[in-house]
Amino acid sequence: MVGIVLVSHSYELASGLKKMLEQIQPNVPIAVGAGDEEGEIGTSLHRIKEAIESVYSEDGVVVLFDLGSALFFTELAIEELGADKKVQIADAPLVEGAYMAVVQAGCNSPLEEVRQMAEQAKELVKIPVDE
């Protein structure tokens, strides 16, 4: 089953989201890579890498993130894990994307489908702009 990793600057935010997602799909492996090394607001390459490794299987992992530097550190973590690892980053809003990803992963869908479903969440959160 595809694992899900939540990368956020806030450990509390990611942990709360993980708790909600586990109630939706209790069998999907979900990990949190959030906060900096001191447990403060920030991101940590080490925490992200550990989170990916903790839910990794041959089915792969989809990573969702909150802000730009979280993406940067996620890319570095994936690089350190090696090219042979099946890890994909979803370009999706964290909460809505994680919700859609965990539902799709719970259906035993392949990695690419889980990531694509997460990315479809962008359509749900579009804010109409009056021109």
The catalytic site residues sit at 9
Dist. CA 103–CA 6, nearest whole Å? 15
Question: Do the Cβ atoms of 111 and 55 come closer than 8 Å?
Answer: no
* Residues contacting 57, CB < 8 A, separation 6+: 1, 2, 3, 29
Closest to 60 in 3D by CA, of 23, 89, 19: 89
* Sign of CA pseudo-dihedral 9, 39, 14, 107: positive
